[in-house]
Amino acid sequence: MTDRLSPDESGLDRAAALLRSGALVAFPTETVYGLGGDARNSEAVAAIYAAKGRPSFNPLIVHVADLDAARRLALVGPGAERLAQAFWPGPLTLVLPLRPDAGLSPLVTAGLPTVAIRLPAHTLARQLIAAFGGPLAAPSANLSGKVSPTRADHVLAGLSGRIAAVLDGGPCPVGVESTILALSPRPSLLRAGGLTVEDIEVVLGTALALPDSDPDRPTAPGQLASHYAPAARLRLNAVAPEPGEVFLGFGPGSGDLSLSPSGDLAEAAAALFHLLREADRIAGPTGAIAVAPIPDRGLGRAINDRLARAAAPRV
Ligand code: TXA
Ligand code: MG
């Protein structure tokens, strides 16, 4: 039985107590719901991998309450410091050298010498990390390979009975996962996400190495081609639906379901995972979904990345 906890003091107290006992609690962030566990407790971290059915070579993001907490876990160099000052709290994850005395379970980093750290902006996430009083390992709270959750109902649809509780904070406002950056040997995009490349480059004053422009870039392990997969087949850059397809539109005059009738990328990102689930439900397991073209700039880059993975051949 998975409890649905209310977004108030009693819900937060219960969630923090469960986490301290080594249990798993899903919680809202501004991007997607995370599946939280004590990042210092190997049993809790192992339980995260087990609940998601996630391969244990795919490391987890550690969520902290403030920059000082990040400094206790990782070496925060001048570049990282500048990005953190500009964008934390917010949808940015930084991959940094792990401190030997960080005290994290080695399972969190899957044995890598680096750790991915994020300081979320969502009020409930921040209150939960503070009430828990330590670093929280939290991947997205979905079964591995499935569509990420942006509502408590999505979490329960995949993980009910497999985790202790979900803290219900309503829909996640950003709707796509955090942007992941590596700083060394040079600033590189590992995953497009809720913070745009354009905004990051303004602060860096230089271009980011992008996945599609640099074949030698360091990659985020576990960025498997097939991911975020609905049961139905997906056809991208569709101008119009073919007979029998559920159409997921974008912009004026769009079809059955629309990511954003006004063509707004932030609105589309916030709606993306919920509407993929809706389209999947309408299409049925043997059906098909057609998705309108999305401009590949700003948040469109993250949306197109998720759509491409959702459409990739299943492995
Ligand atoms: O918005 C988000 O980032 C959400 C919320 C819950 O915070 N979390 C999330 O976690 O998307 P997850 O586990 O679904 O994705 C984490 C990604 C994986 O692709 C993983 O390979 C990468 O981060 N990652 C983790 N540690 C890494 C490291 N040391 N080096 C490179 N990539 C790393
Ligand atoms: Mg995920």
Tell me, in angstroms, the distance from the centre of ligand 2 to residue 33's CA.
10
Cβ of 189 less than 6 Å from ligand 1: no
Tell me, in angstroms, the distance from the centre of ligand 1 to residue 222's CA.
9
The string of DSSP codes covering 132-191 is HTS-EE--BSS-TTSPPPSSHHHHHHHHTTTSSEEE---S-SS-SPPEEEE-SSS-EEEE
Cβ of 168 less than 6 Å from ligand 1: no
Tell me, in angstroms, the distance from the centre of ligand 1 to residue 142's CA.
13
| C-alpha neighbours within 13 Å on the C-beta side of residue 77 | 12
pLDDT value of residue 250? 96
Q: Which of 60, 61, 64, 176 to mutate to test the pocket of ligand 1 (most atoms within 8 A of CB)?
A: 61
Task: Output the residue whose Cα is nearest ligand 1's atom 22.
Answer: 220
Longest CA–CA span in the chain (Å) reads 59
Select from 71, 47, 55, 66 the least CA-distant residue to 111: 55
Distance CA 87, CA 89 (A): 6
Domain chopping of the chain, boundaries = 3-204, 233-311
Tell me, in angstroms, the distance from the centre of ligand 1 to residue 140's CA.
8
Two structure tokens written together for 66:
């403030």
Select from 82, 32, 21, 23 the least CA-distant residue to 205: 82
Q: Determine the 3-state secondary structure of 248 from DSSP.
A: strand
Q: How many CB atoms lie within 10 A of CB 279?
A: 23
Tell me, in angstroms, the distance from the centre of ligand 1 to residue 135's CA.
15
Select from 83, 85, 86 the least CA-distant residue to 96: 83
CATH homologous superfamily, domain 3-204: DHBP synthase (3.90.870.10)
Question: Over its length of 315 residues, how does the chain's per-residue pLDDT go in tens digits?
Answer: 999 999 999 999 999 999 999 999 999 999 999 999 999 999 999 999 999 999 988 999 999 999 999 999 999 999 999 999 999 999 999 999 999 999 999 999 999 999 999 999 999 999 999 999 999 999 999 999 999 999 999 999 999 999 999 999 999 999 999 999 999 999 999 999 999 999 999 999 999 998 765 444 445 655 666 778 888 999 999 999 999 999 999 998 767 799 999 999 999 999 999 999 999 999 998 899 999 999 999 999 999 999 999 998 876
The string of DSSP codes covering 68-88 is HHHHHHB---HHHHHHHHHH-
Distance CA 167, CA 131 (A): 13
Cβ of 312 less than 6 Å from ligand 1: no
pTM equals 0.95
